[in-house]
Structure 1
Amino acid sequence: MKAMIELKGMTWKHERGIAPLVAATKEFQKLRPDVTISWDARPLEDFEDYPIEILAQKYDIMMIDHPFVGTGVEKGVLLPLDEWLPAEYLEDQKQNSVGASHHSYTWNGKQWALAADAASQVSAYRADLLEKYGVKVPTTWEEVFALIKELPEDVKVGIPLNPTHSYCSFLALCVNLTGTDFWDYSSGINVEAGVQSLEFLKKLVPLVHERSLDWNPIYMSDHMAETNEIAYVPLMFGYSNYSINGFKPHVIHYTNIPTRFGKPMGGILGGVGLAVSPFSKFKQEAVELGAFICSREYQTGTYFESGGQPGHRTAWTDPKINGKINRFYMNTLETLDHAYLRPRIIGTNSFQEKAGPVINKLLREQGDSQEAMAQINQLFRSLTKE
């Protein structure tokens, strides 16, 4: 009797992160009954910060955040997928990328992960609450501040600003307010642009929901969908699950982020890449499973139907799929296509982990933005290298 091949995978703890992979396991096993796959899941904060070199020693397949790529390649803990997958498959992935999702896992001319899931910061709103109070969805930051004044006292604008997402919103506003040319990889972030972003956030924080500084996008989305306390969020990683009728007590609608440039620029590119460990005993089978999960056919079918947020563009432009999620994909695609790709140089993941608390503390204490920028850039220079 042929021995079973046992693969272990790691994802993040949310329906969007778990359900489509469990469903993929069942479908893949119809093609490869000799392969079993078990999935572990870790909290979002852990997913965003946990050292990839530790995961690679334990798991065959890893769902990763793209800032880990440079460090992962340097440490030799990612398998170059272009050496294992057909060129035509990777070309399809490239041509059907949502924004820079596919490119975000390309490094030194090699492909280190597949864009299984696409996301960026977008705007979220409760259409029923905005209609109730006779206000419109903002398209500029001036309109965001106007909306805050127009809403009743017990209904707020929110923005997830826990340490990791303080960092993301800080970067998003650097782009949104000053343009993309604000980062020198040898010295750090342009101080003027950084201070402008921090001061903007300091102005916003006292006006938004009081738990904003504690919450990540999942907590914010849950609260928004389960209570009537939050009517609008200008910057938050979008989860299409919440736009499905019946997923939660209230439907969340999504749209492009506010802008000052005419185009919705600066939403931080997120999403998830499917990577394979070079230490796996079953690299070929792990790559085959990854290719199956990220294929056009699976992404536009069971991956979406089981609660996933596909990384393949054909799912984002499909009218039938959009009809099931109140046009989440079509209404935010422009923001995704203009999303900002965070640095992926060596040590970026460590920098992100340590810069977030600096920004969160500044916002809590309404501290000195110049001092915070000096600390942020010192961290960048000490933790990263090209």
Structure 2
Amino acid sequence: MSAALLAAALATSLAACSSGDSSSNASSGGGPVTLNVWTWNLKASVPAAKAITDRYHQEHPNVTIKLSEVGGTDDTAAKLLAANRGGDAPDVVQLEYRAVPAMVVAGAVKDISGDVTGAKAGIDPNTWALTTFNNRVYGVPQDLGPMMLTYRKDLFDKYGVKVPTTWAEYATAAEQIHKKDPSVYIASFSAKEFEFFAAQAAQAGATWWSNNGKSWKVGIDSQQSLKTADFWQDLVDRDLVKVEPLLTPEWNAQVNSGKLLSWAAAAWAPNVIASVAPNTAGKWASAPLPQWAPGSAAVPFLGGSAYLVPAKSKHAKEAAAFAAWLGGSDEGSKLTLNLDIYPAGKAGRQATLTHEPPKLMPQQKDFYQVADQVVKNSTVPVSWGPDVNVASNAFGDKLNAAALHKTSFRDVYQATQQAVVADLQKSGFTVTK
């Protein structure tokens, strides 16, 4: 959810600033074209967005961008499938990376490999891979979620706690903090953050989905995955993390009052925290995510989004060109940084190195240098399947209940495995062991 919030900043800002004659919708023969772009809602910087639309219009005076805010990734994906069946699809659609495989399998998005070759040079291979399947490209990455630990530096110092570099050290830090003050926790345990648990399992060596044509393998209940379940089971059972969903009024209040001291998420987390706890600015810092193996720096990405071209877009070439410019060009990538997202393009990433740090931690002048190194180390793939929604629905509520009642986390992972396998088989896929 949180990744989706910041990934949406660019698109909604563009919506606020789009202008032009939307009634003109000529074909790609050189006349005026209106690109209908689907995005989701988030208030963002109108001046920065206007700079993007103005610049694109200067270079492409016959192209008008018309955005529709249709909800988050889950809502957008469902509406895209319906539009694909009905033949009334948009020209560009913004989706988080986890939703891309399902759209590819459903035939709802185009293979745009031949239309975005120029953008590839402007995006690192580990990022380009997020929208590439079987060597075919289905979208252009726009923003990223380099995984980091954002923490209350002042209170870590007060309690004499070292910033953890491994998950074992994280557990020790959780003990130390809660022992010093039983009302304070190192973090909340938010059971419905499905993407985080998938990413952490991948960091531990698990592959939740992999495929070979129509044959899928599911590893949600693999030993590497269950290792991460055991880790959180231990912390929850010992009351070392607070069982509390993210971004609720209760969570916000505890963050403001210094009762929750960290958030293991990504480089977008400081902007989220600043939006709910602005008075704590200057007290936080960010560091690379803890590791399972000491000395290892490899992590996956968490969150971020891409722009894809629906299969029934009326202006597919123009749509692909817009997506390529936004994500892969020097201009587009640099401009997106002003919208408080972490750019996927090389030029935008390079621009972060001289950019002011997030408002939450103005004193951490090396924030973007740390984040840039994390991006370079983001070499662990997180493979998503065509039924991520089934897995997420089976996982979140059951894990939350297990945390509240202190029942088996392993049972939740195994039940999710069974639900995903059954759904794939019902959908006509072969599932191998």
Same fold (TM over 0.5): yes
Q: Does 1:158 align with 2:187?
A: yes
Q: Does 1:332 align with 2:371?
A: yes
Corresponding residue of 2:39: 11
Q: What do the CA deviations read for 1:169-198 (whole angstroms, capped 9, x no partner)?
A: 433443444x34676743533443333222
Gaps of 5+ in 2: 1-20, 25-31, 211-215, 359-363
Q: Does 1:53 align with 2:81?
A: yes
Q: Does 1:106 align with 2:135?
A: no
Aligned-pair distance for 1:42? 5.4
Cα separation, 1, equivalents of 2:187 and 2:302: 20
Cα 1:355–1:280, aligned 2, differ >3 Å: closer, same or farther? same
Corresponding residue of 2:415: 375
The alignment's C-alpha RMSD in Å is 3.6
Q: Which of the numbers 188, 195, 198 marks the counterpart of 1:168? A: 195
Corresponding residue of 1:203: 234
Greater RCO (CA < 8 Å, at least 6 residues apart): 1
**What TM-score does the superposition give when structure 2 sets the normalisation length?**
0.73
Q: What are the residue-to-residue correspondences of 1:321-360 with 2, within 5 Å? A: 321-325=354-358, 326=364, 327-336=366-375, 337-338=377-378, 340-360=380-400
Aligned-pair distance for 1:119? 0.9
Conservation of the 8 A alpha-carbon contact between 2:149 and 2:289: yes
Gaps of 5+ in 1: none
Conservation of the 8 A alpha-carbon contact between 1:16 and 1:309: no
Cα separation, 2, equivalents of 1:190 and 1:244: 32
Cα 1:220–1:210, aligned 2, differ >3 Å: closer, same or farther? same
Aligned residues: 374
Aligned-pair distance for 1:108? 2.4
Q: Which of the numbers 275, 279, 301 marks the counterpart of 2:308? A: 275
Cα separation, 2, equivalents of 1:292 and 1:11: 17
Conservation of the 8 A alpha-carbon contact between 2:148 and 2:267: yes
Conservation of the 8 A alpha-carbon contact between 2:96 and 2:304: yes
What SS is found at the alignment partner of 1:119?
Answer: strand
Aligned-pair distance for 1:215? 1.8
Aligned-pair distance for 1:162? 4.2
Conservation of the 8 A alpha-carbon contact between 2:38 and 2:68: yes
Aligned-pair distance for 1:311? 0.5
Cα 1:114–1:356, aligned 2, differ >3 Å: closer, same or farther? same
Conservation of the 8 A alpha-carbon contact between 1:121 and 1:270: no
Aligned-pair distance for 1:378? 0.9
Cα 1:41–1:244, aligned 2, differ >3 Å: closer, same or farther? same
Corresponding residue of 2:349: 316
Q: What do the CA deviations read for 1:91-111 (whole angstroms, capped 9, x no partner)?
A: 3144x35xx321010012211
Cα separation, 1, equivalents of 2:356 and 2:219: 43
Aligned-pair distance for 1:304? 0.5
Q: Does 1:138 align with 2:164?
A: yes
Aligned-pair distance for 1:274? 1.0
Corresponding residue of 1:84: 115
Q: Which of the numbers 229, 233, 236 marks the counterpart of 2:265? A: 236
What SS is found at the alignment partner of 2:93?
Answer: strand
Cα separation, 2, equivalents of 1:193 and 1:364: 24
Q: Which of the pair has more CA radius of gyration? A: 2
Q: What do the CA deviations read for 1:184-213 (whole angstroms, capped 9, x no partner)?
A: 7435334433332222112223322342xx
Cα 1:46–1:380, aligned 2, differ >3 Å: closer, same or farther? closer
Conservation of the 8 A alpha-carbon contact between 1:82 and 1:111: yes
Aligned-pair distance for 1:141? 2.0
Cα separation, 2, equivalents of 1:339 and 1:15: 32
Conservation of the 8 A alpha-carbon contact between 2:127 and 2:344: yes
Corresponding residue of 2:338: 305
Cα separation, 2, equivalents of 1:240 and 1:298: 25
The amino acid across from 2:144 in the alignment is: A
Aligned-pair distance for 1:60? 1.9
Cα 1:20–1:366, aligned 2, differ >3 Å: closer, same or farther? farther
Q: What do the CA deviations read for 1:235-294 (whole angstroms, capped 9, x no partner)?
A: 213316629999933334322111131213444542111111122222232222212211
Conservation of the 8 A alpha-carbon contact between 1:72 and 1:78: yes
What SS is found at the alignment partner of 2:262?
Answer: strand
Cα separation, 1, equivalents of 2:52 and 2:371: 26
Conservation of the 8 A alpha-carbon contact between 2:309 and 2:320: yes
Aligned-pair distance for 1:154? 3.9
What SS is found at the alignment partner of 1:255?
Answer: strand
Conservation of the 8 A alpha-carbon contact between 1:19 and 1:308: no
Q: What do the CA deviations read for 1:120-179 (whole angstroms, capped 9, x no partner)?
A: 43211122332344432111223222322333334322246242x1x33433443444x3
Cα separation, 2, equivalents of 1:48 and 1:6: 20
Conservation of the 8 A alpha-carbon contact between 1:47 and 1:64: no
Cα 1:50–1:195, aligned 2, differ >3 Å: closer, same or farther? same
Cα separation, 2, equivalents of 1:221 and 1:294: 34
Conservation of the 8 A alpha-carbon contact between 1:101 and 1:311: yes
Q: Which of the numbers 321, 331, 336 marks the counterpart of 1:288? A: 321
Q: Does 1:37 align with 2:65?
A: yes
Cα separation, 1, equivalents of 2:261 and 2:173: 10
Cα separation, 1, equivalents of 2:381 and 2:288: 17
Cα 1:342–1:349, aligned 2, differ >3 Å: closer, same or farther? farther
The amino acid across from 2:132 in the alignment is: T
